Amino acid sequence: MEISKTRSSFYRRLYVAWLIDSGQACSVPALMAATGMPRRTAQDTLAALAELDIDCVFEQDAGARNNSGHYRIASWGPIDRRWVETHLPRLRQLLGYP
């Protein structure tokens, strides 16, 4: 099934937020490994979470330098995390993610 760019972008953001919130992928390299998306797409998707009012914060690792740390979802805003979790198989399928 072919989906629009708008819908795929929306679903990608939801899926990335879920990966971070579930602890499965909390860094750009981990997101790349989990989804197969290029670095720039992963970075752009992280930056775009705020457009959905999903509060994603970067937490620097203690004593680390050069932006070594991880992302954390502080708030899902108006998005229902349970809906995302329930629909994960469909989101993965539509986005072509493993």
- The reported pLDDT for the residue numbered 91 is 96
What pLDDT, in 10s, does the model give residues 31-86?
999 999 999 999 999 999 999 999 999 998 777 666 688 999 999 999 999 999 99
Q: How does pLDDT run across 19-28, given as a tens digit for each residue?
A: 999 999 999 9
**pLDDT of 50:** 97
Contact present, 45 and 54 (Cβ < 8 Å) = no
What residue numbers bound the domain in which 90 lies?
Answer: 5-95
pTM of structure: 0.92
Task: Give the pLDDT confidence score for residue 97 in this predicted structure.
Answer: 92
- Number of domains observed in the structure of the chain: 1
Report the CATH number at residue 35.
1.10.10.10
How far is Cα of residue 65 from the mean position of the Cα atoms in its chain? 23
Spell 58-86 as b/e; 16+ CB within 10 A means b: eeeeeeeeeeeeebebeebeebeeeebee
CA dist 86 → 18, 28, 82 (Å):
11, 24, 6
